Amino acid sequence: MGTVASTAVGERTGPLDRLRALHAEGRLAGAYDEVPGLLAELAAAGNPAGPPAPDLVRAGQLLARLDPEQVLREHPGTDTFSVAVTGHSTLSGLKAPLTAELARHGMLLKLHEGDYDSWYRDLQDTGSELYASGADLALCVLDSEIVFDELPHPWLVDDVERVTVAKLALIRQLAERYVTHGGGTLVLNTVPLLRSRLRSLVDSRSRARLGVVWREFNAGLLRLAAEHDRVHVVDLDPLIASSGPVNEPRLAAYAKVHLGEELLAGYAREAGHLARALRGRTKKVLVVDLDNTLWDGILGDDGPDGIAAATTYRGEAFGRFQKAVGQIGAQGVLLAVCSKNDIEPVRDVLRDHPDMVLRDGDFVQVVANWDPKDSNLLAIARKLNLGVDSFVFADDSPFECGLVARSLPGVAVVRLDEEPALHIERLLADGWFDLRELTAEDRARATQYRTEAARQDLMESAGSMEEYLAELGVEVTLSPVADHEIARVSQVTLRTNQFNLTTERLQQADVRARRDSDDGLVLAIRSADRFGDNGLVGVVLVSGVGADGGWHIDNMLLSCRVFARGIEEACLAAVLREAGERGAGAVHARYRPTAKNHRVRTLYPSVGFAETGEDEDGTVSFRHDLTGEQLPTPPAHVRLTADFGRPAS
């Protein structure tokens, strides 16, 4: 993070002051690379159990005044994210928090705002800006007036039921229309029932029935997300529980602001989490401290008998936090420990202490020493073959949190404090691990990483890399993706950065469309070895199958868990041989460089592709003529099964 811009603004050094100074001096666009770090500080200062910090929204007001094109001129590599907004009520309060939420996740918002109460027209008309903008997200913000505006006066619960049933059918129809004709993800929301509407019924039996009808309406909205890959529904109930009233009655009456500023800020935070997931920026690893983080007390000072995660009031709060961490770990997030302690006492506690919910085997790495924590995080990343930007670091020490935030800005830092009852809220507030859909591979990930230790032992005992690979017994299956694997393939494209030849991100609908096209192949790569099944670890995307111009490998991706085992060479050899047997004149491929995929720059040349050109953005084109002497053979240590037929459902 940079220093204060100018002495002209005095001694103010807070993150919001820094942003204001940069804006006043006309340098905010030029310093846009500082923005995520400054916003992270503002977000950390908020109440974890409540709406986003007010200063974060104020920062969004400054950022919303920037011209996105000016930011891109200053920082051409900035990731832009396009959002179209439509709805029933006045939604001007959404722009600032949405700008801030995307910016703190490294994305520059390009916003398309619809007219007041244009939601039906925008979704119905495929020529509207909602469709034409090509937005990544289409936010259709709903409120209770879409129902109550259509009720007679006076109204009965029967009237509400009739309107909600019809409205749900209409929204379902419009959602299907958007999924068919739109290019992004449609975001809907559950609709709050205002207390004033409920209390306008004088008998408790009618109120109870209205509650049932309204919940059935919202349940129907939530089910739309399960029915369509590109529909997401934000449940507003948890946001209302933490942010307070749905709206301010005077603004609702006079300005048609039916959802208040705090609720819209919470909604923007959820939209930011979704945008981050769609860009493949979901975090993969949670690294936690131990003393006053997983347990109450300091092991080195108090000894094993002096720490607690149960049996005391404070201890029980730490025990609840351990359960929350374990819950995350059970869903595919890798858990690791980074603690300033001696390793043997730590292992003894994790193995034998009666209070512990989490045990040694729940962590893929346990690092306890007296080295700086930023260097320990780098060591953990090397062990896991992951970038530190996939890490979340939770610690109660302001010093350690500050050190990691400054030296490793890609790490999401969760600053825990002296109140353990808030640890869970602080950890979960920013949805760092949010996914569109959890897969079987996610649930098995921790086990797969733990077996990596056995592979490392085999490698260290082998006389050479060739001997290690021969003893490893690598088995690879390459075949078209089946229906139940589509979510996993989409996830691979979203989350893989190192072995990703073009970094094209695909949603589930995109994968399905490619799989079902007449001239395309979506080939899933599955691997196993003597230590177990690695599951679906990669994908090859091919187009132009059967076309005169030859096959095109649009992208190839492989999980970092299976690097350097010959899997990629074996799969490319199979694709080239299949293309030749089907009469393709050539196979074309591209490599687009990023900050993380440099190690695969030479992949295509290594299997006989010739370079044919390079674009201004650095994208390199390749061609393989499929002549016999150029066709590669799979590495001898890989047992490959390739099937290019249509997949079974």
Band of pLDDT at residue 649, cut at 50, 70 and 90? very low
pLDDT in tens, 251-279: 999 999 999 999 999 999 999 999 999 88
Does the pLDDT value for residue 5 go beyond 70? no
Q: According to the model, what pLDDT value does residue 4 have?
A: 33
340: three-class secondary structure by DSSP: strand
Average confidence score pLDDT of the chain: 89
Q: According to the model, what pLDDT value does residue 646 have?
A: 53
Tell me if the bond preceding 480 is cis, omega within 30° of 0: no
pLDDT in tens, 617-634: 889 999 998 886 778 888
List the domains of the chain with CATH numbers. 78-278 (3.40.50.1110), 285-428 (3.40.50.1000), 462-642 (3.40.630.30)
Q: For the residues 517-534, what does the mean pLDDT come to?
A: 88
The Cα-based distances of 583 to 313, 464, 542, 624, 643 in angstroms read: 73, 40, 15, 13, 17
Band of pLDDT at residue 546, cut at 50, 70 and 90? low
| Chain centre distance of CA 83 | 17
Q: According to the model, what pLDDT value does residue 188 have?
A: 98
Does the pLDDT value for residue 329 go beyond 70? yes
pLDDT in tens, 174-228: 999 999 999 899 999 999 999 999 999 999 999 999 999 999 999 999 999 999 8
pLDDT in tens, 139-156: 999 999 999 999 999 999
215: three-class secondary structure by DSSP: helix
Does the pLDDT value for residue 9 go beyond 80? no
* Mean pLDDT lowest among 37-51, 65-79, 374-388, 489-503: 37-51
The Cα-based distances of 568 to 65, 76, 322, 456, 589 in angstroms read: 47, 32, 39, 20, 14
Q: According to the model, what pLDDT value does residue 8 have?
A: 41
Between residues 48 and 90, the one the model is more confident about: 90
Band of pLDDT at residue 378, cut at 50, 70 and 90? very high
- Core vs surface per residue 378-389: b (16+ CB within 10 A) or e: bebbebbebbbb
Percent share of the chain, pLDDT over 70:
96
**End-to-end alpha-carbon separation of the chain, Å?**
51
483, 508 Cβ separation under 8 angstroms? no
Q: For the residues 553-567, what does the mean pLDDT come to?
A: 86
147, 195 Cβ separation under 8 angstroms? no
Q: For the residues 171-176, what does the mean pLDDT come to?
A: 96
E-assigned strand segments in 88-230: 107-113, 137-141, 185-189
